[in-house]
A = this chain, B = another copy of it.
Amino acid sequence: MIICRTKQEVQSLMGDWRGEGRSIGVVPTMGALHEGHLSLMDIAARQCDRTVATIFVNPLQFAPHEDFDAYPRDLEGDGAALSDRGCDALFAPDRSALFPADFSTNISVAGVGENHCAVARPHFFDGVATIVAKLLLILRPDAAVFGEKDFQQLAVIRRMVRDLDIDVRILGGPIVREADGLAMSSRNQYLSAEERAIAPALFRTIREAGETISAPGARWDDVCERATKAIIAAGFSSVDYVNFVDASTLDPLERAGPEGRILAAARLGETRLIDNIAVAPVRAA
């Protein structure tokens, strides 16, 4: 696996591959890789001739009170995992390689980038859209793969890429879960043993809510409210939201028709966990 630390290095490599007619698939990450990320590498490898992972803990998407400094970093371990998985190149730039001191451009996505996670993290999706645009324009891959665990993030990226005419296919990879249902996340390593035992209740609850919503006559608002209470009852500290939405617009789903999704975010002590589940087919309420 080739490791690139600068834009010039990675662009030279991409240029060589494009010159050989190779298609390129990219998996942008913040490192602290787990099977969820590695499954995205597999998708990239099935779709493209060459695969690139990027590892960059993006300062733009952390608020001052959030966990930028504490975010887990293990470049050596990540590199070994990527190499074992057959990844062809790793782009792991320093902050200064991507952000000049007077960097001042921001991309924001209204609609799909509002509500849900944007309520608690108002600048998060701007930070995501801006860094993803940069990475896509530096690497110019044929495809880029993002996990469905960050479902709103995926929607924001799809919209941004379409709106700005960035020439890349965006692919979503299914959520990878632990044996007990907990969605894999780099932030799971923040959990104490006690919190880790409580954590699977998030998925269990939204899965049950999805079954209830799919049943005829269900009152969707009530289902989300009951799910919120169930997550608290299971031991979570607080619930940011449990929302039932149209899977493409992320608008609240009020009648049957489009493909639905339940999105949820809740806190266990200091750790914020998110999860989501497809709800289909949606029947009349």
Interfacial residues, chain A to chain B (CB-CB below 8 A) = 7, 100, 102-113, 129-130, 133-134, 137-138, 140, 159-160, 162-167, 249
Instruction: With both chains docked as a complex, state the minimum distance between the C-beta of A161 and any C-beta of chain B, in angstroms.
Output: 9
Question: Judging by beta carbons under 8 Å apart, are B137 and A167 in contact?
Answer: yes
Q: Which residue of B lies closest to A105 (CB)?
A: B163
A115 to B162 Cα, complex, angstroms: 31
Q: Which residue, of A100, A130, A137, has the highest number of chain B Cβ atoms within 10 A?
A: A137
Instruction: With both chains docked as a complex, state the minimum distance between the C-beta of A7 and any C-beta of chain B, in angstroms.
Output: 7
Instruction: With both chains docked as a complex, state the minimum distance between the C-beta of A169 and any C-beta of chain B, in angstroms.
Output: 15
Please indicate the chain B residues that have their CB under 8 angstroms from the CB of A7 in the complex: 165
A113 to B102 Cα, complex, angstroms: 13
A111 to B101 Cα, complex, angstroms: 12
Please indicate the chain B residues that have their CB under 8 angstroms from the CB of A111 in the complex: 102, 104
Question: Judging by beta carbons under 8 Å apart, are A163 and B103 in contact?
Answer: yes
Please indicate the chain B residues that have their CB under 8 angstroms from the CB of A105 in the complex: 107-110, 129, 159-160, 163-164
Please indicate the chain B residues that have their CB under 8 angstroms from the CB of A109 in the complex: 104-106
A134 to B110 Cα, complex, angstroms: 17
Question: Judging by beta carbons under 8 Å apart, are A104 and B159 in contact?
Answer: yes
